[in-house]
Amino acid sequence: MTKIIFFDFDNTLYSHTTSSFPKSSIKALKKLKEKGILTYLCTGRALLELDNFDMRDVVLDGMILSSGQVVISNSEGLLYEKTIEGELKDVLIRLFNEKTFPIYFCTPHDMILNYCNATVRHVQSAISSGVPEVKPYNNEKIYMASAFFDEDKTLKEIMALKDQAEITIWHEGALDIVPKGMSKVSGIKAVCEHYNIPVEETMCFGDGDNDITMLDYCGTSIAMGNAPDFVKEHADYICDHIDKDGLAKALKHFKLI
């Protein structure tokens, strides 16, 4: 029996085609709540980014943010956090200060960008987000770093960190960086431990590269119809496109609503 469901945000819960949450998904989340099934957002986004969206009708019990680095319960507050430390942190701070390419840090209450260019504006617009504020780094906790690139030389420099970091390209000009071994699954494990829910009783929905680990991990995994084929290969079930009520249809298929 499914006791908790984890939902990716971009093009899983929120459609960038319609710039909205499908009404069917909003209704489905409310029905899940009525049935006592826990619902958690599970996204690479930082908390501050969600202010760009009207989520008043999006019923959730909590959020896994920054690709598993932070877990917040809507009723209990912070449940878990993992910060970037050691050599990886030192390297990222150096890259931030050198300003060879744009990079921002997700901190507990902010998103700090070293400088802005056309690539940053293009990528942030594509995901319906504003540009993070340009400001100096002042020793805040770093949950995740995101870098922007428009040439192979920059990408090669960032990928040189792969021995000490998990690097996920989520746009043709942007990627996320978290410590080695960390992913959305890290947050999922923390949530399940908190509620004492076995993995067999979990379900997840996703559509992108950074959803693959949770699709492989959860008891029942569902890929959106709009997901690339290489992501769908990791799912137990493929639902319809987000803009064709895919999420709600899948929950009905599994008799959860």
172 in Cβ contact with 209 (< 8 Å): no
Please give the Cα distance from 51 to 49 (Å, whole number): 5
pLDDT digits (tens, 9 = 90+) for 27-49: 999 999 999 999 999 999 999 99
Q: What is the pLDDT of residues 11-24, one digit of tens each?
A: 999 999 999 999 99
**pTM of the full structure:** 0.94
Q: What's the 3-state SS for 167-189?
A: EEEEECCEEEEEECCCCHHHHHH
What is the predicted pLDDT for the residue at 153? 80
3-class SS shares of the chain: helix, strand, coil, % to 5: 35, 25, 40
Per-residue pLDDT of the chain (257 residues; tens, 9 = 90+): 999 999 999 999 999 999 999 999 999 999 999 999 999 999 999 999 999 899 999 999 999 999 999 999 999 999 999 999 999 999 999 999 999 999 999 999 999 999 999 999 999 999 999 999 999 999 999 999 999 998 778 888 899 999 999 999 888 899 999 999 999 999 999 999 999 999 999 999 999 999 999 999 999 999 999 999 999 999 999 999 999 999 999 999 999 99
Name 228's Cβ contacts closer than 8 Å, sequence gap at least 6.
207, 208
Q: What six digits make up the tokens of 196? A: 């004492």
Q: Which residues contact 113 (CB under 8 A, 6 or more apart)?
A: 102, 103, 104, 120, 131, 132, 133, 134, 135
The Cα 207–Cα 9 span in angstroms is: 9
Q: What gap in Å lies between CA 66 and CA 210, rounded to an integer?
A: 11
Domains and CATH numbers, the chain: 4-82+182-253 (3.40.50.1000), 86-179 (3.30.1240.10)
pLDDT at 172: 86
